[in-house]
Structure 1
Amino acid sequence: MISHAGTIPLILLLAAAPSAARANDSTYTDFDTDHCKTLSPEDAEGGGISLQCKGLMDYAVYYKEGDLRQSILYGHVNQAYIDGVFESFGPFNHAGRKIEWRIGPDGKPVATILRWFIENADPATGEPAPKLKGQVLVVSKVAGEDGKGCVAGYVDALANPDPNILARQIADTKTGGFICGKDKADFTGVRGPRAADPTRYFPE
């Protein structure tokens, strides 16, 4: 006869495991720069502009563009970061229009994933070439109480078979302990030749 005396604690442990290891959830919002609050007027000469756009709940999207390059921050961003941070790519680029927000167990967004399109130049002409265009998933930390949000990682969307899975892994495991302005965001997975070098600037 088999004793079942030790099975109850094991059953309870197994029942609790899915809850303890539950992954973050995703929700999506549209990124629409046509309905945003202007923070600084467009620079007619340099083409720069700074906007505050609708995000998720009370977590805003802060958009900047300058010299045909874009930078985006998310969440409760402090004024120094709104004014001074610019994270982008070396070549001309633009962001996609669908933001994936990763939601923590407390219901608050902890990270975002957004696809960027990189206008790589043809070495022979120096002009952007459609055949060389890159796509990178940019994973960003959403600013919370400290007011600091930033890019925490990158995934080459053309060189990896499941780039969204890799991006969600970065969002769920790296952004929580990522220190903006100190830690360096790197590529995860395979990085191909069309994933251009990132650029970053933070205020002192």
Structure 2
Amino acid sequence: MKTFVHALPILLALPILLALPTAPAFANDSAYTDLDTDRCKTLEQEEEGASIVLECKGLKDQPVIYKEGDLRQAVLYGKVSKAYIDGTYETFGPFNYTGRRIEWRLDRKGTAFAAIQRWFISNSGAMEAGPAPADTGQVLVVSKVAGDDGKSCVVGYVDALANPDPNRLARDIADTLANGFRCGTDTPTFHGVRGPHAADPMRSFLTP
């Protein structure tokens, strides 16, 4: 009888324990850096500043490759191969410029696998200093950080003006799509609501 009396509470407790939700094995985290183009190494520059390619400080040992030409900017993240630096350009059709802050998405080991950065899109064609005009679009661009293959590319877009929590949506895109995204094969798309100021992307892949 003693054995039965002591065992009964344990047996009754088992359904309660089994009903508890299972905690996730891990949750991705974020780290932040600022893009400072005044402190970058010039990799390539055409005469009269028509276009330029810079290697800038990123997160830990992951650099940022900044490219600008014809008043349009593109950014690659991580240890990008020379073929991708030379042959890849993902930006927007209208004149545009990037924000300084970069959000890096980190896996459970602290390794960056995706980056999120804000683009400002000049729909009017006026690239003026100071407050952005009312028709300036803002798009969060989610990109894949280069791994061993040396490939970095855009994974998806979020209209930062048309969605109530664009940063969270961008993180979800990074966490679910970046690792399996095939640069040069898969096509990035807008996620969530796309408003009138989120211009069409412009993409060029000339890599082997």
- TM-score, reference length from structure 1: 0.89
Cα displacement (A) at 1:84: 0.9
Q: Which residue of 1 aligns with 2:197?
A: 194
Return the match for 1:18 from 20, 23, 30: 23
Q: Which residue of 1 aligns with 2:161?
A: 158
The answer on 1:4 being equivalent to 2:10 is: yes
Q: Which residue of 1 aligns with 2:35?
A: 31
Instruction: Report if the CA contact (8 A) 1:134-1:194 is conserved.
Output: yes
Identity of paired residues, percent? 61
Give CA-to-partner distance per residue, 1:141-166, whole Å, 9 cap, x none: 00010110100000000000100010
Counterpart of 2:53 in structure 1: which amino acid?
A: S
Give CA-to-partner distance per residue, 1:49-106, whole Å, 9 cap, x none: 0000000111110010000000000011111001110000000000000000000112
Mapping 1:117-132, distance limit 5 Å: 117-121=120-124, 130-132=133-135
Return the match for 2:44 from 40, 44, 47: 40
Task: Name the CA distance, whole Å, in 2 between partners of 1:101 and 1:10.
Answer: 39
Secondary structure at 2:169's aligned position in 1? Answer: helix
The answer on 1:172 being equivalent to 2:178 is: no
Moved more, 129-138 or 111-120: 129-138
Task: Name the CA distance, whole Å, in 2 between partners of 1:59 and 1:35.
Answer: 15
Give CA-to-partner distance per residue, 1:147-201, whole Å, 9 cap, x none: 1010000000000010001000001000010000000000000000100000111
Task: Name the CA distance, whole Å, in 2 between partners of 1:127 and 1:36.
Answer: 26
Q: Which residue of 2 aligns with 1:145?
A: 148
Q: Which residue of 2 aligns with 1:73?
A: 76
- TM-score, reference length from structure 2: 0.87
Secondary structure at 1:146's aligned position in 2? Answer: coil
Structure 1: segments with no counterpart, 5+ residues = none
Mapping 1:78-97, distance limit 5 Å: 78-97=81-100
Instruction: Report if the CA contact (8 A) 1:36-1:52 is conserved.
Output: yes
Counterpart of 1:173 in structure 2: which amino acid?
A: T
Task: Name the CA distance, whole Å, in 2 between partners of 1:6 and 1:75.
Answer: 53
Instruction: Report if the CA contact (8 A) 1:42-1:50 is conserved.
Output: no
Counterpart of 1:84 in structure 2: which amino acid?
A: G
Supply the RMSD in Å over aligned alpha carbons.
2.2
Mapping 1:92-107, distance limit 5 Å: 92-107=95-110
Return the match for 2:187 from 172, 184, 187: 184
Secondary structure at 1:130's aligned position in 2? Answer: coil
Instruction: Report if the CA contact (8 A) 1:39-1:52 is conserved.
Output: yes
Cα displacement (A) at 1:133: 0.4
Task: Name the CA distance, whole Å, in 1 between partners of 2:36 and 2:110.
Answer: 24
Cα 1:199–1:5 shift into 2, 3 Å: same
Counterpart of 2:115 in structure 1: which amino acid?
A: T
Instruction: Report if the CA contact (8 A) 1:49-1:64 is conserved.
Output: yes
Counterpart of 1:48 in structure 2: which amino acid?
A: S
Task: Name the CA distance, whole Å, in 2 between partners of 1:194 and 1:111.
Answer: 25
